Amino acid sequence: MSEVDDLQRALLATGFAYDRQVRTDFYLSFMRDFMGRAQDIRRLGSAALDLCYVACGRFDGFWEWSLRPWDTAAGSLIVREAGGTVSDFRGGAFDLYGEQTLASNGHVHAALLAVLAPRFEGTR
């Protein structure tokens, strides 16, 4: 697990849901939000691998929309077992059947949530 505790030094990962051609601007807006705040962002194309890379310290954080349980079940457990944090984009409990997956080394989780929070103000 990475010891990075500053979002500006964090290497993040993300992926794009299958409806990305319809919601291009929506998904890219999250990239834009993090681009100026993080060290860099990677996209590998496998949520399971991204989560494992968070657990072993290659990435400091990961977010993605619309994943399925087979994408996140093992990886989210591995992140938690390694000492990291997994939640939804508001900091709520991670739900295998939910639309939001946010995972981190635990040290930058609050900073990731602070970037995501303004997008959800005024919504349930």
In a domain, 31, yes or no: yes
Question: What is the distance between the terminal CA atoms of the chain, rounded to a whole angstrom?
Answer: 32
The answer to whether residue 28 is domain-embedded is yes
Identify the burial level of 107 via C-beta atoms within 10 angstroms of its C-beta, where 0-12 means exposed, 13-18 middle and 19 or more buried.
buried
Is the pLDDT at 26 greater than 90? The verdict is no
> Has residue 110 been placed in a domain?
yes
The pLDDT of residue 122 is: 58
Q: How many folded domains does the chain comprise?
A: 1
Does the structure show a pLDDT above 90 at 111?
Answer: yes
- Percent over 70 (pLDDT), the chain: 95
Residue 115 lies in a domain: yes
Establish if 47 belongs to a structural domain. yes
Contact 48, 75 (CB under 8 A): yes
CATH number at residue 39: 3.40.190.80
User: What is the value of pTM for the model shown?
Assistant: 0.92
Q: Is the pLDDT of residue 124 over 60?
A: no
What is the overall mean pLDDT for the chain? 92
> Is 60 domain-assigned?
yes
Indicate the angle between helix axes 69-81 and 47-56, nearest 10 degrees.
0
- Give the residue numbers spanning the domain of 112: 7-120
Does 92 reside within a domain? Answer: yes
Q: Which amino acid is at 51?
A: L
Q: Collapse the DSSP code of 100 into the 3-class scheme (helix H, G, I; strand E, B; otherwise coil) and give the result.
A: strand
50: pLDDT strictly greater than 80: yes
More confident residue, 59 or 16: 59
Residue 123 has pLDDT above 60, yes or no: no
Q: Judge whether 56 lies within some domain.
A: yes
pLDDT at res. 18: 74
